[in-house]
Amino acid sequence: MKRWNPTLMTALMLMICAAAGAEEGMWRPGQLPDLAKELKELGLDLDPDTLTDLTAHPMNAVISLGGCTASFVSPEGLVITNHHCAYRAIQYNSTPENNLLADGFVAGSRDQERYAGPGSRVLVTVEVRDVTDVILADLDAGQGGRERYQVIEDREKALIADCEKGEGYRCRVASYHGGLQYELIRQLEIRDVRLVYAPPESVGKYGGDIDNWMWPRHTGDFAFYRAYVGPDGKPADPDAENVPFLPAHHLEIAADGVDEGDFVMVVGYPGRTNRYRTAAEVESLFSWSYPTRKRLFEEWIGVVEEATSTRPDAALKYAPTLAGLNNASKNYGGMLEGFSRSDAVPRKQSLEAELQAWIEADPEREARYGAAFSHLAKLVDERQGLRERDLYYLYLARRSSLLSSARTLYRLSREREKPDAEREPGYQDRDLTRIRERLIRVDRSFDADVDRFVWRHLIGRYAAIPTEMHVGAFDEWFGIDGNSVDATYLDLKLGEMYAETGLDEQETRLAWMDATRVELEKSDDPFLRLAVHMYDADMAIEEQNKDLNGRFLEARPRFMEALVAFLDSQGKAVYPDANGTLRVTVGTVAGSAPRDGMRYLPFTTLAGVVDKDTGVKPFDTPPSLLEAMRRGDSGRWADEGLGSVPVNFLTTLDTTGGNSGSPTLNGRGELVGVIFDGTWESIISDWDFLPEKTRSIHVDIRYALWVMEQLGGAGHLLEEMGIEAAPEYPIASAGGR
């Protein structure tokens, strides 16, 4: 096989993105100048070139929270994001007596702002550099998968280690098109993040799981953080002496909002899309993985609900877990429904056939890409053969919080025996703070009885899969024989483990962080013993998966290179799948025709909140707000056309999970809303973008401002964002509700 030249391909990719509609696509900022004409036509006032400079306004004001996006909205580090992105921070500061989820929160002054909890981060991207040449230098198809995997990992680690020199930075290597291009991304990592404002859950999560993914929507899904740094202006551990971070740039609020048809863009960190997967991959996902996961997650939800039904303390702890499971299982449902009405598989099959024909039509292409598709297809088959083990064993059967902690601790001790640069990513010195935070955070969403109850159920599900997918050491530990489980023995075993472990104590968990391998192996803590017992078997699976992944790292880019070249030959633009890196999506405010015989209108209003309200969670708007809505009191935030305050709005923007909390900007780069969801018909867009149906859902900034004024106590925050005081809502903070 011939070596292929990644640099050439990168250049090719950057050339070919100007065709087709700009509305589909999570564009890399550097691609935007190529779309200049369409952006102008859509209504962008800014020069697209200004969007390519990540250190300038407005890009520099957009930040990552790790999993969510957010943005600076004041010169003193005030951050706006979604209520659901701040959910764990609000929960962290809640107790049954002082339940901020229920009551909401407003810090009347800086000293009332509350630490958002371990693991909370604000990440400001400061530099992005193409490192494809470095990563792929001298690699060819000759290596085995395992070796390729290791070479790439080692190079990534070396680049990261170098990049993180100088305190307060976090770096990562992002790969595009499955490994066709690599970028090194450097982010300032602010680790003192504080909660400034959250509306009550009955606003911020209005509609709850029932309305999740739905339109019409009436959710006030916004909250505010503030980033703090040390007195020297550098990232620092949480400390009373810390001071607000002063960002170089922040977004202005466009309090006049948007209208139907207006240009909008979202800048953010979308997590993952899979628009270039093969027909076979899509088929397997939708015929097996999603239905199976949906079923398992629904069971899991039932098990957690059963275990917490009479225990409000445990219920509070597991609320975020349940929210996550509900969200995922509803998402899978939407995927499956979208897929059942989609022709994605035959369309992909046609595309693959056309691609193959195009390749075979030219000897040079044949030589270069001839085997690209079949090679990838073989690997896809191979991975499918392992899907039951991967889901039921790796993902589910080890899913006890205490086992996770034990596995982390033992693995850490093993990795520590190596020089830092040779350790598994996630276990290097740079990761110790995060490991420590994770071990602390366990308490917030852990209850021994619930953990055991859930784990017992998941072990049972694992036991039922074909025995050739079983892991002997695990079966041995729990007395699983073939597919049969001795329930009495399992209960006895689990009872002992939870009774005898010390890992349910935070102090104990943290103390073990400094232990050596030998010390851990001598421990008689049953969870540590299980972690040690499983180590060799788990490592063997890991090695097997790394080898397969290494082979994917050769095959996928080859296929993508061919596909990109083919699409280019047809004048079609190619944006890379989302991979957690900064992207821009552009479009307009627009309703849609989700189904024959009905339309989604682009805006919802206060009247719709009143209509939905039943007084019962999740439709239990705070009485004072409901009263104001019933009075038709729009304050100063009414949209003239609607005659009411716009609550949520729809856009044609191409977004996915990770975009949550992203600022929605108008053509001048001003903030008009915050994205928090997509419609039911859009869920499938992670796999298949349908322009006429895909819509993102945003909270209108005017609703956020209306809520803050109506509930009171937040005038100082509005002032900080440059919103002039209204006579009826004086700025002077009351310091409370």
Query: Which one is catalytic: 84, 470, 698, 716?
Result: 84
Residue 598 binds a copy of itself, judged by CB under 8 A: yes
Contacts of 340 (CB under 8 A, 6+ apart): none
* C-alpha distance from residue 280 to each of 214, 354, 386 (Å): 30, 16, 15
Catalytically annotated residue among 660, 662, 685, 733: 660
The region of 358-366, 394-402, 592-600, 716-724 touching a copy of itself under the rule CB under 8 A is 592-600
Of the two residues 46 and 674, which places its CB atom closer to a copy of itself in the complex? 674
Q: Which stretch binds a copy of itself (CB under 8 A): 17-25, 59-67, 215-223, 235-243?
A: 215-223
Q: Taking a C-beta distance cutoff of 8 angstroms, is the pair 515, 413 a contact?
A: yes
Give the Cα separation of 225 and 81 in Å (integer).
Answer: 8
Give me 524's structure tokens.
């008689």
Q: Does residue 727 bind a copy of itself (CB under 8 A)?
A: no
Single out the segment in contact with a copy of itself by CB under 8 A; choices: 110-118, 223-231, 474-482, 598-606.
598-606
According to CB under 8 A, which one of 97, 507, 596, 640 is a site residue for a copy of itself? 596
Burial call 131-156: b when 16+ CB within 10 Å, e when fewer: bbeebbeebeeebebbebbbbbbebb
The rounded distance, in Å, linking the Cα atoms of 493 and 509 is 21
Q: Give yes or no for residue 601 binding a copy of itself (CB under 8 A).
A: yes
**Kind of pairing between the strands at 192-198 and 223-229:** antiparallel
Q: Which of 3, 272, 522, 595 binds a copy of itself (CB under 8 A)?
A: 595
- Residue 260 carries which side chain, given as an amino acid letter? E
Please enumerate in sequence order all residues whose Cβ is within 8 A of that of 2, keeping only pairs 6 or more positions apart, or say none.
367, 368
Closest CA relative to residue 6, chosen from 183, 143, 269, 172: 183
- Binding of a copy of itself by 702 (CB under 8 A): no
Minimal distance in Å, beta carbon 386 to a copy of itself?
30
Which of 34, 192, 221, 686 is catalytic? The answer is 221
For 93, 338, 469, 685, the CA distances from 295, given in Å and listed in that order, are 33, 17, 20, 22
Q: How far is the CB of 630 from a copy of itself (least distance, A)?
A: 10
Name the minimum Å distance from CB 217 to a copy of itself. Answer: 7
Residues 120/63, Cβ–Cβ less than 8 Å = no
Nearer to a copy of itself, 358 or 689 (CB): 689
Which helix (H) or strand (E) element contains residue 62? strand 62-64
Integer CA distances (angstroms), 204 to 82, 344, 644, in order: 8, 35, 19
List the one residue out of 630, 649, 727, 688 whose CA is nearest residue 264. 649
- Smaller CB separation from a copy of itself, 371 or 610: 610
Residue length, the chain?
Answer: 737
User: What's the closest the beta carbon of residue 459 comes to a copy of itself, in angstroms?
Assistant: 31
Picking from 216, 133, 114, 215, the residue whose alpha carbon sits closest to that of residue 180 is 133
| Nearest by Cα to 195 from 277, 268, 107 | 107
Among positions 88, 218, 556, 702, the unique one binding a copy of itself when judged by CB under 8 A = 218
- Asked if 604 is part of the footprint of a copy of itself (rule: CB under 8 A), the reply reads yes
Does residue 219 touch a copy of itself according to CB under 8 A? no
What does the alpha-carbon distance between residue 243 and residue 229 come to, in Å, rounded to a whole number? 5
User: What minimum distance in Å lies between the beta carbon of 615 and a copy of itself?
Assistant: 9
Q: Is 217 in the site for a copy of itself (CB under 8 A)?
A: yes
Give residues 630-669 in contact with a copy of itself (rule: CB under 8 A). 648
Task: Decide if residue 607 touches a copy of itself (CB under 8 A).
Answer: yes
Task: Note whether 698 binds a copy of itself by CB under 8 A.
Answer: no
DSSP 644: B
Interacting positions 301-340 with a copy of itself (CB under 8 A) = 340
Identity of the residue, 52 or 349, whose beta carbon is nearer to a copy of itself in the bound complex: 349
Query: Which one, 9 or 650, has the nearer CB to a copy of itself?
Result: 650
For a copy of itself (CB under 8 A), the number of binding residues is 23
Q: Which is nearer to a copy of itself, 347 or 595 (CB)?
A: 595
| Measured CA distances, 244 to 28, 233, 302, 690 (Å) | 30, 8, 43, 43
Figure out which of the listed residues 605, 652, 696, 733 binds a copy of itself, where binding follows CB under 8 A: 605
Measured CA to CA, the distance from residue 576 to residue 272 in angstroms comes to: 10
- Determine the interface stretch with a copy of itself among 60-68, 88-96, 405-413, 589-597 (rule: CB under 8 A): 589-597
Write down the least CB distance from residue 614 to a copy of itself, Å. 5
Work out whether 191 is an interface residue with a copy of itself (CB under 8 A): no
Instruction: Tell me the window of 175-183, 452-460, 574-582, 605-613 that interacts with a copy of itself (CB under 8 A).
Output: 605-613
CB of residue 206 vs a copy of itself: minimum separation in angstroms? 13
Any catalytic annotation for residue 84? yes
Residue 17 contacts residue 27 (beta carbons within 8 Å): yes
Among 215, 318, 410, 676, binds a copy of itself (CB under 8 A): 215
User: Could you give the CA distance from residue 638 to residue 658 in angstroms, rounded to a whole number?
Assistant: 30
Classified as helix, coil or strand, 551 is helix
Closest-CA residue to 639 (of 669, 684, 601, 600): 601
Q: Between the CA of residue 284 and those of 115, 274, 277, 345, 654, what are the distances in Å?
A: 44, 13, 11, 11, 25
Whether 660 is catalytic is yes
Which of 2, 378, 599, 617 touches a copy of itself by CB under 8 A?
Answer: 599
Q: Which span sits near a copy of itself by CB under 8 A: 121-129, 188-196, 211-219, 399-407?
A: 211-219
Site for a copy of itself (CB under 8 A): which residue of 600, 676, 680, 729? 600
The alpha carbon of residue 151 and the mean position of all alpha carbons in its chain are separated, in whole angstroms, by 28
Q: Annotate each residue in 333-352 with x if it binds a copy of itself (CB under 8 A) or - if it does not, as one string.
A: -------xx-----------
* Smaller CB separation from a copy of itself, 67 or 608: 608
In the bound complex, what is the minimum distance in angstroms from residue 200's beta carbon to a copy of itself? 21
| C-beta of 377 vs 601, nearer to a copy of itself | 601
Q: Which CB atom, from 310 or from 614, has the smaller least distance to a copy of itself? A: 614
Smallest distance, a copy of itself to C-beta of residue 261, A: 17
Q: Interacting stretch for a copy of itself, rule CB under 8 A, among 74-82, 456-464, 562-570, 611-619? A: 611-619
Three-state DSSP state, 109: coil
For the chain, the distance separating the N- and C-terminal CA atoms, rounded to the nearest angstrom, is: 70
626 binds a copy of itself (CB under 8 A): no
Interface with a copy of itself (CB under 8 A): 215-218, 340-341, 595-601, 603-605, 607-609, 611-612, 614, 648
Active site residues: 84, 221, 660
